[in-house]
Structure 1
Amino acid sequence: MNRIDDTICAVSTAAGVGGIAVIRVSGPDAIEIADRVFRASGVNDMPLVSRKSHTLIYGEVRDETGNIIDEVVVSLFRKPHSYTAEDVVEISCHGSLYIQQQIISLLLRQGCRMADAGEFTRRAFANGKMDLSQAEAVADLIASSSAAAHRLAMNQMRGGFSRELGALREKLLDFASLIELELDFSEEEVEFADREHLTQLASRIENTIEKLIESFDMGNAIKNGIPTAIIGETNAGKSTLLNRLLHEERALVSEIHGTTRDVIEDTINLRGVTFRFIDTAGIRDTQDKIENMGIELTYRKLNQARIVLWVIDTTQPFENLYSLAENILSRSEDKKLILVFNKSDQADDKMKEDKKQFAITIPDAEYLFVSAKENENIDLLENRLISAAQLPKTGTDDVIVTNARHYDALTKAYNAIKRIQEGLRSGLSGDFLSQDIRECMHYLGEITGEISTDDILGNIFSKFCIGK
């Protein structure tokens, strides 16, 4: 882990050429270093060290020989009123890659160190500007690709999740203190902690943690996209349908059976909801080992999906669909199943009626006729997908778990609270109860960073972009 008492710099805007770029400098010497490379324009040319926090100054960045690198606007933030709680200077320059490189090189020569990935946010965490779950929400906010994902990340970054966990830990801490006080008076055999009250509290905490754990499935879907498997027999038009939904030629389309042998995944945002489409190998009896591996992968992906689009060729006989239905339905009991009768533009009324009669035999399944090739009823299919997503309306105060690390810690905390309840029912002694309470508090504290290690922090912040 790098030091956190030196001065770092990095380009904080996205890589590439744009109208402007922002170069961030943070640390104890940020203002002094910026003063050595920046000269304010106009009559008020006093140095940055003499200026107030939260001011904007127009001027020039010059190298050691006095050559002008660029005309810039400098934003000045004095500690602790900055993102990192350190002195921060942000230089807004023109977006030329050459200009960015020249300014970064100049700052490095003047005593800055190049920031690691996520180091600005890591310093904000280390300096108490945010806890660990809020810091992770910064990365989620940057990566959010839908309105729902944005709301969840914003709520977590503003401390909604942290407050929920903090309230739980506070209650547990009160009882842990009383039980440990009992241990100091063990010879007198006194009870400071009301066991009935503790039982009620443990039950409430269990219910709260359980709801948070159960929210992960939905939170993960909102954050990463609702997994939607596109399955069916070979040459039913699955890849054509995927291309139509994605509005690009993502999958290879061919009249040859068994073209798709691997899984193709891509995401799209439909009216604020992100779907992760999974185009799978066509299901059929084949002696081709590679194709059979793809079909086996199809069934595994089907197990992971929340929505299943079963694509059926409307022009083909439906009798063989019953044997296929058995395999699909056995893996779709807890999923939303939509029968997509494709190539409807080539089917006559008899073919369509046959498919309707087949659809009626599939319990709880919806169906509709489309032509992926001719773009017929694709808008209706999108409506069905939005409806099938069944995402709750999340407000600014909703607490939904979206992070796998949080889910793991909550699961361990839940197991600990269950042991506390079992111990209370069996009359377990205070020292064992205290151990389980402390363990539950430990895992809740892992989420917010009250209990952390350099390995955990390094793993989390390494996934951030440089400059953030």
Structure 2
Amino acid sequence: MLYNDSIVALATPSGAGAIAVIRISGNEAITIGNSVFKSIKNKDLLKQKTHTLHLGHIVDDAKTLDEVLVSIFKGPNSYTGENTIEISCHGSTYIQQQIIQLLLRKGCRMADPGEFTLRAFLNGKLDLSQAEAVADLISSDNEASHQIAMQQMRGGFSNEIAKLREELLNFASLIELELDFAEEDVEFADRTQFHELLNRIEFVLKRLIDSFAVGNVIKNGIPVAIVGEPNVGKSTLLNALLNEERAIVSEIAGTTRDTIEDELVIGGIGFRFIDTAGIRETKDVIESIGIKKTFEKIEQAQVVLYLFDSLKFKALSLEYIIEIEKIKNQFPLKPLVVVINKLDLLSEQEIAIIRQELETLDLKLIFLSAKENRGVEELKNQLLSFVNTGALRNNETIVTNTRHYDSLLKALNEIQKVKYGLETELSSDLMAIDIKEALYHFGTITGQVTNDELLGNIFANFCIGK
């Protein structure tokens, strides 16, 4: 796959703004830029040093389109590894279109989605996992997802994989050497050291695979379902969490007939709160559909907040405890937080009684007043505790990419085959096959093994201009 032509695209978001940046990359990028740029000091861009800025005008024959700043990055010391020019112009959509159309007439081609980053990968500026981290960095909308993307873009994940692959490759070479001398029955690879290496690789792979559970929810946000009977304060709680009037609050039962979703960042982690329709027996067809959706949302959620009115709970505690047990049994793997709302209506003694009644259920219990915004911070801290942020604090590698996760699972499977072969004294030629498969799956993560279809699938999801 070779790219020799020059490409152009808008590198800033489309639409009007104060400034827009138009990027050109390719062997002729500086030549094309020079053909439309008139420096205020009559500079020739072809003679200027890399990583320099130049003030002037973009001109189309005798017509001046805009006053601009041109940045020059000469390959290989550029993002793509090629000659690159960035034109900072005024953010008028008319100006943007006029400059891009002029550059197309001068020999550029419109860039495909992610083509600048694709060229960076093909030119060895980034490996494939780092290139994918660029897209994650652009889409990051909270501190945790930003931190993970930055760590991967700097090569933290790929360095860990590359080290394992190199060690395995060294032993694979010795195994292959043994095959060349098979008739002489010699061993070049120390089996004890090889077993230790396989144990270490297996440990690291399992840690990375386990990290995906955390990484995936951090990247996509943690869905939290707020459930309970009508009129217990679900919408009020959602508004208190978001600190805005997002959901309609009414004394009329069944006001919320569909799910309402909104996001909130707590401690750098994104949470997606889902205010569901109240769970109750009803003959209202529309409300029944909403209640059905409630159970669908519980199925999709990572955490369930079961909200109760304090006075109703005090009067019907045994019935509600049965309902809580039903939810626990129906969704045994989901963290369940029982929230007793309208704390202001309970005495200390009544709170103690409710705590005692629920202590055998082994669940998290929080008392709050959504209306008075009391106990809301405690609830936020409780939600944050469900996320393993220790790996973030320790700057450990966290896997967030489904493709990487799949490759790690396949690599682990092959490593375990090699271990089994080593322990059962399998012949070297058969072990070599499994080792090659493991190396292949390692290579697909960083891009040492790739194909046009894989690259097409990855970079098609990028934005144009990156």
Q: Is TM > 0.5 for Structure 1 vs Structure 2?
A: yes
Letter in 2 for 1:414: L
Percent of paired sites with the same residue: 52
1:283 equivalent in structure 2: 279
Q: Which residue of 1 aligns with 2:151?
A: 155
Unaligned runs of 5+ in 1: none
Give unpaired runs (5+ residues) of structure 2.
Answer: none
Q: Give SS of 1:394's match.
A: helix
- Cα deviations by residue, 1:63-101 (Å, 9 ceiling, x for unpaired): 13x211111100000000000000000001111111111
Q: How does 1:18-417 map to 2 (within 5 A)?
A: 18-42=17-41, 45-64=42-61, 66-286=62-282, 294-295=290-291, 297-316=293-312, 317-319=315-317, 320-331=319-330, 333-345=332-344, 355-371=354-370, 373-392=371-390, 394-395=392-393, 397-417=395-415
Q: Cα gap change, 1:367/1:395 in structure 2, threshold over 3 Å: closer, same or farther?
A: closer
Distance 1:271 1:149 in 2: 12
CA contact (8 A) 2:22 2:86 kept: yes
Q: Is the 8 A contact 1:302 1:331 kept in 2?
A: no
Moved more, 181-190 or 355-364: 355-364
Q: TM-score if structure 1 supplies the norm length?
A: 0.91
CA contact (8 A) 1:151 1:396 kept: no
Amino acid at match of 1:76: I
Change in Cα spacing, 1:421 to 1:393, as seen in structure 2 (3 Å) is closer
1: distance between equivalents of 2:231 and 2:350? 17
Distance in 1 between the 2:211 and 2:388 partners?
13
For 2:345 and 2:97, locate their aligned partners in 1 and report how far apart those are by CA, in whole Å: 59
Matches of 2:449 and 2:287 in 1, distance apart?
49
Query: For residues 433 and 293 of structure 2, what CA distance do their matches in structure 1 show?
Result: 44
Distance 2:442 2:231 in 1: 51
Give the equivalent residue in structure 2 for 1:446: 444
Other-structure match for 1:429: 427
CA distance in structure 1 between the partners assigned to 2:195 and 2:374 by the alignment: 60
CA distance in 2, matches of 1:411, 1:393: 20
Deviation at residue 219 of structure 1 after TM alignment: 1.3
Mean Cα displacement is larger for which, 221-230 or 88-97? 221-230
Name the stretch that deviates more: 178-187 or 146-155.
Answer: 178-187
Q: How many residues align?
A: 463
Residue 282 and residue 155 in structure 1: after superposition, are their counterparts in 2 closer, same or farther (change >3 A)?
Answer: same
Distance 2:256 2:430 in 1: 57
Residues 158-186 of structure 1 show CA distances to partners (whole Å, capped at 9, x for unaligned) of 11111100011111111211222222222
Report the Cα offset of residue 420 of structure 1. Answer: 1.0
Over 3 Å counting, the alpha-carbon distance change for 1:399 and 1:182 in structure 2 is same
Shift of 1:327: 2.0
Give the Cα–Cα distance (whole angstroms) in 2 for the partners of residues 388 and 288 of structure 1. 36
